[in-house]
C-alpha cells in the first residue's frame, strides 16, 4: 500500500529533507566526514631565575613569540604567575622565542600543537628562564701542566664580584685552535662551573682535552666568561651552532697552552 501525502505535507517533507542535507553538508568535508577543528588553545608557564640558583618572582611581562612553519607569528605576554596563553592558535609545529630585558633570549624549536580529542588545550611543559650573568672575568693566566695531581693544564683567575659560599660565581670556558676564540666561535666548551672562592683549582686534564677533540702537542686558546646557572643556551637547527645568550661578554683575552704529550 502506497502512502500518499497531502500537497502541503509533501512540500513540508521535502523542505525538511533539504534543510537536513544542507546541515549535514555544512558539518562535513568533501569526503562526507565531520569537519575537525583547525585551531586550539596553547598555554604554559615560565619560571624565572637569577643568574645563580634562586627562582624569582620576576615572571610578569615575559614576551613569548610563537612562529609556525608557514611564517605566521603570534605573541603572548606572561602574567604575574608566569602564565602565557595563545587562544585559537592554528594547529602546527612552532618555534618559541622568549625574551625580557635583563634575561638571555631563549629559543625552543619543534613545539607540537596538534588536535587531541582527549585534551582541551595543548599544555607546554614549564620553561625555566635565567637572567644574564652578573659575573665579570677580570683575569685568566696559565698556571701549570697539573690539575688536581693529574697531567693537564690549570689556570689562575680572578672574578668580580669575588665569589663566596653564599654568593657563588658561575663561569664557562670556550676553547679552540684559533686566537680569536669566543663564546660565538669555538671548537669545544665546558659545562657551567661554580666557584665559592678564588682558591678553587680550575682547568682541564689531558684526558678531558683529548675527549674534546684536541691532540697532544696542539696549541689551544681558551677564554672564560661569566654565565648563569640556568643558561638559556640553544642550538640553531640550521647551522648547528650552539648559542649562549646568558654570557656576560665582558672578559679578558684568551690564554694559550700546548696540550701535554
pLDDT tens-digit profile of 103-139?
999 999 999 999 998 888 999 999 999 999 999 999 9
Q: How confident is the model over 51-101, as pLDDT tens digits? A: 999 999 999 999 999 999 889 999 999 999 999 999 999 999 999 999 999
Q: Is the domain of 147 the same as that of 185?
A: yes
Asked if the structure places residue 174 within a domain, the reply is yes
Strand pairing category for 150-160 and 83-90: unpaired
Cell numbers at residue 208, please? 678531558
Q: How confident is the model at residue 15 (pLDDT cuts 50, 70, 90)?
A: very low
Half-sphere exposure for 260 (CA within 13 Å, toward CB): 14
Q: Is the domain of 120 the same as that of 223?
A: no
Q: Is 124 helix (H, G, I), strand (E, B) or coil?
A: coil
Cell numbers at residue 221, please? 686558546
Q: Would you give the distance in Å from CA 144 to the centre of its chain?
A: 37
Say how many domains are in the chain: 2
Q: Is the domain of 181 the same as that of 244?
A: yes
ω before 239 within 30° of 0 (cis)? Answer: no
Instruction: Quickly count: other Cβ atoms within 10 Å of residue 40's Cβ.
Output: 19
Say which CATH number the domain at 105 has.
2.60.40.10
Domain boundary among 130, 151, 185: 130
Range of the domain at 92: 39-130
Across residues 27-36, what is the average pLDDT?
Answer: 61
Asked if the structure places residue 224 within a domain, the reply is yes
Q: Is the domain of 115 the same as that of 140?
A: no
Q: Is the domain of 145 the same as that of 241?
A: yes
pLDDT > 70 fraction of the chain, expressed in percent and rounded: 87
Asked if the structure places residue 123 within a domain, the reply is yes
Q: CB within 8 A of 223, min separation 6: which ones?
A: 140, 173, 174, 181, 182, 183, 251, 252, 253, 254, 255
Q: Is the domain of 146 the same as that of 246?
A: yes
C-alpha to C-alpha distances, 226 to 13, 51, 96, 204, nearest whole angstrom: 80, 10, 25, 18
Q: Is the domain of 213 the same as that of 251?
A: yes
Asked if the structure places residue 23 within a domain, the reply is no
Q: Is the domain of 155 the same as that of 243?
A: yes
Half-sphere exposure for 89 (CA within 13 Å, toward CB): 29
Domain boundary among 130, 155, 176: 130
Q: Is the domain of 77 the same as that of 102?
A: yes
Q: Is the domain of 118 the same as that of 148?
A: no
Say which CATH number the domain at 220 has.
2.60.40
Asked if the structure places residue 177 within a domain, the reply is yes
Q: Is the domain of 195 the same as that of 124?
A: no
Q: Which residue has the cell 587531541?
A: 116
Domain boundary among 67, 102, 130: 130
| Contact (CB, 8 A) for 199 and 165 | no
Q: Is the domain of 64 the same as that of 161?
A: no
Q: Which residues pair with 243 in a beta bridge?
A: 234
Q: Would you give the distance in Å from CA 24 to the centre of its chain?
A: 45
Q: How confident is the model over 147-200, as pLDDT tens digits? A: 999 999 999 999 999 999 999 999 999 999 999 999 999 999 999 999 999 999
**In terms of pTM, does the model score above 0.85?**
no
Asked if the structure places residue 28 within a domain, the reply is no
pLDDT > 90 fraction of the chain, expressed in percent and rounded: 82
| Core vs surface per residue 68-78: b (16+ CB within 10 A) or e | beeeeebebeb
CA distance 122 to 103: 26
Amino acid at each position: 500500500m502506497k502512502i500518499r501525502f497531502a500537497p502541503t505535507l509533501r512540500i513540508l517533507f521535502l523542505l525538511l529533507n533539504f534543510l537536513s542535507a544542507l546541515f549535514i553538508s555544512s558539518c562535513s568535508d568533501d569526503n562526507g566526514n565531520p569537519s575537525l577543528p583547525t585551531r586550539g588553545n596553547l598555554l604554559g608557564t615560565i619560571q624565572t631565575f637569577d643568574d645563580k640558583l634562586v627562582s624569582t618572582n620576576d615572571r610578569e611581562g615575559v614576551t613569548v613569540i610563537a612562529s609556525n612553519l608557514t611564517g605566521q607569528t603570534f605573541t603572548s605576554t606572561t602574567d604575574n604567575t608566569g602564565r602565557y596563553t595563545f587562544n585559537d592558535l592554528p594547529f602546527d609545529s612552532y618555534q618559541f622565542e622568549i625574551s625580557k630585558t635583563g634575561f638571555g633570549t631563549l629559543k625552543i624549536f619543534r613545539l607540537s600543537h596538534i588536535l587531541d580529542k582527549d585534551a582541551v588545550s595543548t599544555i607546554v611543559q614549564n620553561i625555566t628562564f635565567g637572567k644574564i650573568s652578573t659575573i665579570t672575568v677580570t683575569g685568566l693566566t696559565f698556571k701549570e701542566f697539573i690539575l688536581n695531581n693529574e697531567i693537564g693544564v690549570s689556570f689562575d683567575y680572578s672574578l668580580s664580584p669575588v665569589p663566596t659560599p653564599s654568593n657563588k660565581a658561575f663561569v664557562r670556558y670556550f676553547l679552540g685552535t684559533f686566537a680569536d676564540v669566543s663564546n660565538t666561535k669555538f671548537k669545544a666548551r665546558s659545562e657551567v662551573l661554580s666557584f665559592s672562592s678564588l682558591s678553587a683549582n680550575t682547568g682541564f686534564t689531558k684526558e678531558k682535552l683529548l675527549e674534546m677533540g684536541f691532540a697532544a702537542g696542539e696549541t689551544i686558546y681558551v677564554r672564560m666568561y661569566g654565565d648563569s646557572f640556568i643558561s638559556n643556551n640553544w642550538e640553531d637547527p640550521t647551522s648547528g651552532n650552539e648559542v649562549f645568550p646568558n654570557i656576560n661578554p665582558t672578559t679578558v683575552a684568551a690564554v694559550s697552552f700546548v696540550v701535554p704529550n
